[in-house]
Amino acid sequence: MANELVMQNVACPLCGCENDTTILISPDWTGTTAGEFRLARCGDCRHLFLNPAPADSSLADCYPDDYGPHQRMVESSAEPKNSGELSAAEPVKNPWYLSSWVRMIPGPRAYYRWVTDTKSVWLPPENGEGRRALEIGCSSGWFLAQLRERGWSPVGVDLVEGPLKQARAAGFEVHHGTLDSIEFEAESFHAVFGWMVVEHVPRPRETLQSIYRVLKPGGQFAISVPNVASWESSVFGRHWRGYDLPRHLQHFTPRSLRALLSQEGFEVERIIHQPSFLYWVGSLGSWLRQRFPRSSLGERLMVTYENSPPLWCYLLLGPFARLNALFHQSGRLTVITRKR
């Protein structure tokens, strides 16, 4: 049964303006929550946000038990990564190029690495020995494991309790709640990460201020977010998976995100358009599930292919995703910043 959320009207989370216009109205395409949700554009700063938005007490109720990011397992990568590289958040398991006969051919191996490198997470180039890192929205701890492998002392925070059980079982220090509700010491982390997290927070300025407080001077802060300025949002409309209402409360463009980070004391070093096709697959699945409810294809695209696409998807769609990123039209951004 769909969850009933407690909703409340909100002013623009970035500038406080109370005048906005409706951009679209959409249900929760995952079926987790009941009702329809309104995406609004601020009349002053033009920021896009959910209004009304779930009350803090209802935020955790927005997430289904099978929420894709919560299903990642804590495990080592199929192939070690170099420090400081941008890479896929969850590499394809047991890649075919590891077969001995394929490894003798340089072409297939290079092509595999090219199409599967979605640049969705970033690992700092510094050796992590003696350094502490914080991940917001750590889920089951799959990225904490990558940090630990490189010598970091990682700490995690997540709003949903369920996936934290696996992180604790793997020996990680993790906290249930939000960064705003947990009192970490000031300037206690050398790096902070948030992969597909900032769009979920109700008060992004307060969250960034909390990150600034716990980050050491010169420390790095890296995030990823959906890009509402991409062609995908226009083509797929309310089915675009980057909207993901009511879980995604904020919707950024590269320009608005750069301005927000700068205002809160972060120097943006790089904004990378991810060569990712995941939203194409999930958005098509959302449309198919509504248009052909008796077919299971839409469900498979949304649940299975978007979260864990098979290798043939990378081989087929990877080159187009690369071209899309080249023209700065990707639906997902990775942003690397440093505390001034």
* The 189-195 sheet, strands edge to edge: 173-176, 153-158, 132-136, 189-195, 215-226, 332-339, 266-273
Work out the angle at residue 169's Cα, subtended by the Cα atoms of residues 167 and 172, and round it to the nearest 5 degrees: 50
The vertex-157 CA angle with 155 and 162, nearest 5°, equals 120
Q: Which of 20-34, 126-140, 195-209, 277-291 bottoms out in mean pLDDT, i.e. has the lowest?
A: 126-140
Confidence of residue 83 (pLDDT cuts 50, 70, 90): very low
Residue 286, pLDDT > 80, answer yes
Task: Render pLDDT for 9-43 as a digit per residue (tens, 0 to 9).
Answer: 999 999 999 999 999 999 999 999 999 999 999 99
- Among 103-117, 167-181, 285-299, name the one with the lowest average pLDDT: 103-117
The 8-class DSSP code of residue 246 comes to T
| pLDDT tops 80 at residue 77 | no
pTM of the model: 0.88
What is the DSSP track for 128-176? -TT-EEEEET-TTSHHHHHHHHTT-EEEEEES-STTHHHHHHTT-EEEE
C-alpha to C-alpha distances, 256 to 10, 193, 238, 251, nearest whole angstrom: 19, 19, 21, 9
Distance (Å, whole) CA 148 – CA 145: 5
The pLDDT tens digits of the residues spanning 204-241 come to 999 999 999 999 999 999 999 999 999 999 999 999 99
- The pLDDT value given to residue 300: 94
